Amino acid sequence: MSDHFEARFAAVGGQGILLAGDIIAEAAISFEGKYAVDSPTYTAQVRGGPTKVDVIINTKRIEFTRTTAIDFMLCLAQKSWDRFGFDLKDNCTVLIDPSLVHEVDEEKYKVYRLPIIELTKTKMKKMVYTSAVSLGAMAGLTNYLNPESIRKALLKKAPRGTEEPNMQAFDIGFEAVKDLRHG
Amino acid sequence: MDNTEKKQRQVVFWPGNKVVAEAAVAAGCRFFAGYPITPSSEIAHVMSKRLPEMGGKFIQMEDEIAAMGAIIGASLTGQRVMTATSGPGFSLKQENIGFASFIEAPCVIVNVMRGGPSTGLPTALGQADVMQARWGTHGDRPVIALTPSYLDELYNEVIRAFNLAEMLRMPVFLLIDEVLGHLSERVEIPDPSEYELVERPRPTVSPEEYYPYDSSQGDVPPMADYFTGYRWHTTGLNHDKTGFPTTDPVICQAEEERMERKVSGNLELIEKYEEYMTEDAEIGVVAFGTTARAALVAVADARKKGIKAGLLRPVTLWPFPEKPTRRLGQRIKAMIVPEANLGQMIYEVERVAGCNGPVVGVNKIGGVPIYPGEILTRIEEFA
């Protein structure tokens, strides 16, 4: 397995997606002894503007902290795709919510469609669990990090009292991508 | 394991701005005044929580100018003080920064540099306040600016900023950029036993015998805390040893020269830089802050291609590291100066390098960092 991994989580401000980056980095550092950096990008208007967080993981110390060849991207808004859908590897795994993202390059990337928002709304009833559902889906679609490490990191970062629903949301995402085919 | 091993360090995953705030608290900072501005706001945010916990004071002022004034006032009472801002706020603070320099009030000013002039690119990186840090306020006065590249280095440089400010009775700038302020990476927090917190010199004489600018006590005269019985006067006018205004040209010259000597006479204390593969380098690269991380990758990649490149990374940007720059400059074919501005530090490199070959910039603005490949291309052009 490659010793370098890059992930990007893109959405709009207010969806809480920046936290997902922290959790992935935490999983790599605390539970797999790797190095990680994460860098958020947001616009001056905090809510509603396209936002992303980039995570780089390596077995060695990371010098250049900008992504250059992304392995996995989650996108929850068309305008975020339009703005941040670059620096992706040709076979990058791209996870989108089809109700929010309509146009991505199907030829270049392995595109998976999962109604993350709908799933969160119907099964969790609270949109704050969007990140946890997304992380579960990511854990199911990628194999760079052990899903258990991501789960543990989520548990560690979850606000007190929300551990159980966060784990439940993670599992919903994880299970939902099991039979998912790209394209 | 040996018992004398240094204590286990706490390992954290924090964003740069939190590192600044936590290191400031560890450095004994107990007063922060600020006005929030992206991309530095998280520093104020963390300080607003941490300082009350530590028995310190946090004040959000009405603007950046007032914030600078507030930390000067608190410094005079003996506190270790800090404010944080970004380029536009740094501009606003300049007049009071000059005042702090001239009354010799220790303070730390953090500038998390963003892109563009004026309001510019609030959420994106820039490194265009190099010259503002040096020449932003009017008149001659010494300047110290620290520009770390890594978050564990940042923690230590914050502590060093406080120590230098106190030791030399002067403002010290921490010049970082948006990328470092918002980047999270693994940070090893040093145990307090691993560093020293240096206090400002304080008077050993009675209040009656005390002069606040007594050069017979050395270039850094002892500073008495306000409200401890030592009454002394501060003014932005040129002043004599009593702190009261004077227009005596001999005293004015002597006092400003003494202030300048606080930096020029303590270079070994202040200067800090790192060299990477410079011993046999034929192409020199000089870069600071997060741009230096891209430069390091570029130098390593050049070496893989058989090009003898080497990096000089100033950790202290002001005073500019003249000696190592000259040492490198005099024996190389070309000097490459990448910086996230249209060319500022390059003036210093040109001034001191004594380079026979060209000194060329790699300049990128617009909020996107310089990539290692862009620096490597430049290196290859001159190899």
Confidence of residue A97 (pLDDT cuts 50, 70, 90): very high
**Per-residue pLDDT, B171:** 98
B160-217 tens-digit pLDDT: 999 999 999 999 999 999 999 999 999 999 999 999 999 999 999 999 999 999 999 9
What is the fold, at CATH topology level, of the domain defined by A4-176?
A: Pyruvate-ferredoxin Oxidoreductase; domain 3 (3.40.920)
Strand B334-339: give its sheet, edge to edge.
Answer: B273-276, B309-314, B283-286, B334-339, B359-363
Asked if A36 reaches chain B (Cβ–Cβ under 8 Å), the answer is yes
Cβ-contact A51, A80 below 8 angstroms: yes
pLDDT of residue A13: 79
Residues of B in contact with A66 (CB under 8 A): 179, 294, 369, 371
| Element of type H or E holding A139 | helix A130-141
pLDDT band at A47 (very low <50, low <70, confident <90, very high): low
- Pick B297's closest partner by Cβ from A36, A39, A64: A64
For residues B287-315, give the mean pLDDT.
98
Report the pLDDT value the prediction gives residue B1, as an integer from 0 to 100: 43
* A37 contact B CB<8A: yes
Paired strand residues for B188: B11
Q: Mean pLDDT over residues B15-44, rounded?
A: 97
pLDDT of residue A42: 77
List chain B residues with CB under 8 Å of A29: 13, 186
| Helix-, strand-, coil-residue percentages of chain A, each rounded to 5 | 40, 25, 35
Amino acid identity for residue A6 in this structure = E
pLDDT tens per residue, range B244-268: 999 999 999 999 999 999 999 999 9
Angle of helix B345-353 relative to helix B322-329, nearest 10 degrees, comes to 60
Alpha-carbon dihedral angle through residues B47, B52, B56, B57, given to the nearest 10 degrees? 70
Q: Can you give the pLDDT at residue A41?
A: 86
Between A181 and A101, residue with greater pLDDT: A101
- Of A33-42, B131-140, B297-306, the range with the lowest mean pLDDT is A33-42
Domains B10-194 and B274-382 belong to one CATH topology: yes
Does the domain at B10-194 match CATH 3.40.50.970? Answer given as: yes
* Three-state SS at B112: strand
Q: Provide the residue ranges of all domains of chain B, joining segments of one domain with +.
A: 10-194, 207-268, 274-382
CATH architecture of residue range(s) B274-382 = 3-Layer(aba) Sandwich (3.40)
Q: What is the pLDDT of residues B211-237, one digit of tens each?
A: 999 999 999 999 999 999 999 999 999
For residue B5, pLDDT over 60 is answered with: no
Q: Which of B122, B182, B371 sits opposite A66 (nearest CB)?
A: B371
| Average pLDDT in chain A | 93
Flag if A62 and B179 touch (Cβ within 8 Å). Answer: no
Dist. CA B280–CA B101, nearest whole Å: 41
Q: Provide the chain B residues 186-245 that lie in CB contact (below 8 A) with chain A.
A: 186
- Would the pLDDT of B96 be above 50? yes
Taking 70 as the threshold, does the pLDDT of residue B3 lie above it?
no
For residue A44, the model assigns a pLDDT of: 66
Which are the contacts of A82, defined by CB distance < 8 A and separation ≥ 6?
A: none
Give pLDDT tens digits for A48-78. Answer: 788 999 999 999 999 999 999 999 999 999 9
Which residues of chain B does A43 touch, with a Cβ-Cβ cutoff of 8 Å?
123
Per the prediction, chain B carries an average pLDDT of 96
Residue A180, pLDDT > 90, answer no
Domain definitions of chain A by residue range? 4-176
pLDDT for residue A126: 93
ipTM field:
0.90
Cβ within 8 Å, pair B185-A64: no
Q: Is the pLDDT at B372 greater than 60, yes or no? A: yes
What is the pLDDT averaged over residues B270-298? 98
Q: Is A22 on the interface with B (CB under 8 A)?
A: yes
- pLDDT in the model for residue A143: 92
Query: Residue B174's pLDDT is what?
Result: 98
- Contact at CB, B122 and A25, closer than 8 angstroms: no
- Does the structure show a pLDDT above 80 at B368? yes
Residue B7: is its pLDDT beyond 80? no
- pLDDT of B6 reads 60
Of A30, A40, A44, the CB nearest to B122: A44
Q: Number of Cβ pairs closer than 8 Å across A and B?
A: 50
Q: What is the model's pLDDT at position A179?
A: 83
Give residue B137's pLDDT. 96
Q: What pLDDT, on a 0 to 100 scale, did the predictor assign at position B310? A: 98
pLDDT of residue A91: 93
- State the alpha helices, DSSP H only, in B210-290: 249-264, 267-270
**B186 with A36: Cβ contact below 8 A:** yes
